[in-house]
Amino acid sequence: MMSYSKIHPQFRLNGVSLTAGDLLEVGYSLVKEGEPYEWEIGDFLLDWLSGQADVPVYSSGSTGSPGLFRLKKEHMVHSALATGRYFGLLPGNTALLCLPARYIAGKMMLVRAMVLGLSLDCCNPSSAPLKAMDGPYDFCAMVPQQFLNSLEDMGRIKKTIIGGAPLGENGVAAAQSLSSEVYETFGMTETITHIAVRRINPFQPLFETLPGVRVAVDPRGCLIVHAPDIAPDPVMTNDLVRLETDRAFEWLGRFDHMINSGGIKLMPEQIEKKLQAAIPGRFFVTGLPDETLGQKLVVVLESETDPEVLMQKLRGLGSLAPYEIPREVFSIPAFANTGSGKIDRKATLRRLENEGNV
């Protein structure tokens, strides 16, 4: 049976070499005396070094209702090893944890470090984490907002993976001038973070699966993940894809976000890509009930922008097909977010309804 108290001898946490016994003390100390973000790190270290075969992990709720999963430590180790092989991570490489350790992405940075022998620095998971950190790093995981707020410092990281939400065309364009390698990931809590990766600079349209992972599609065109080392049963998703091979696919959007407007099926994620050049700041596209069309296409902005001014701009946007032009624009001062900082579309729409704007 695999022992999870066995820590790679080259593992470092904030520059300090630690054994399993040391980590237990560190975990207790962080929970008792640390900053709020350190409590979550301490909690996970104590869970990892416990005698249990699994750990509790909360999903962020970005693709459904937030939930509590119990993931097997054995599967988490396999995920860490697959990431290490794919990115060529070696013992002694440096890494930065700038994501909340409450969720799977942050937890897996800790597991990778302990399993692969990385030297891991931890910082408060702010929107611009590199501002508080000095050293260069071989590897880091970020969400899109952190990446976009850290562009001038990204040269200090050799390889960066970005997940949690699509990076978007503005982020892809910004990455082209960077000397460091930038990758976008595809995954979820159930698959123990990413099971597929695509290089952003230069841009690659297809996601490539990690070692040991194969993919297929169901009758809806949604992805099915076969990854026996990390999930004993196939993982059924609501992610619409174009399958290239059983190891490569193009992500199209979420089946549960699809809008049926007058019999035409619209993918919000595809339309959002086209709108990014015209809309600064955060926004999303969704469908609202309409007596004639069934659903009408609308844009929701996190902004005080005059909706009518933006509508005029969008009507003249040449990249949109006639049926992709939004019928209405709504603005709200601040979006509702999930616990991990992603846009909570359903909660934001409820907020708009409560304010009488929908």
The per-residue pLDDT for 213 is 97
Is residue 240 within 8 Å of 224, Cβ to Cβ? no
For residue 234, what is the DSSP state? P
pLDDT(65) > 90: no
**Angle at 37 (CA atoms; ends 31, 38), nearest 5 degrees:** 35
Mean pLDDT score, 21-50? 95
Q: Which CATH class is domain 258-354?
A: alpha beta
Nearest C-alpha neighbor of 172 from the set 59, 266, 273: 273
Task: Give the separation between CA 183 and CA 167, rounded to whole angstroms.
Answer: 10
Mean pLDDT score, 71-100? 96
Residue 356 — very low, low, confident or very high, per pLDDT cuts 50/70/90? low
The per-residue pLDDT for 1 is 45
Ranges in the chain annotated CATH 3.40.50.12780: 12-254
Q: Which CATH class is domain 12-254?
A: alpha beta
- Least confident piece of the model among 27-36, 121-130, 163-172, 211-220: 163-172
Which tokens belong to 181?
């390698």
* 119-122 and 94-97 beta bridge pairing: parallel
Mean pLDDT score, 279-294? 89
Residue 315 — very low, low, confident or very high, per pLDDT cuts 50/70/90? confident
Is residue 114 within 8 Å of 158, Cβ to Cβ? no
Task: Please state, rounded to an integer, the average pLDDT across all residues of the chain.
Answer: 91
Ranges in the chain annotated CATH 3.30.300.30: 258-354
Cα-only R_g, the chain = 21
Task: Report which listed range, 61-65, 251-255, 352-356, is most confident.
Answer: 251-255
The per-residue pLDDT for 164 is 86
- pTM for the full predicted model: 0.87
Task: Give the separation between CA 334 and CA 358, rounded to whole angstroms.
Answer: 16
Task: Give the separation between CA 226 and CA 343, rounded to whole angstroms.
Answer: 28
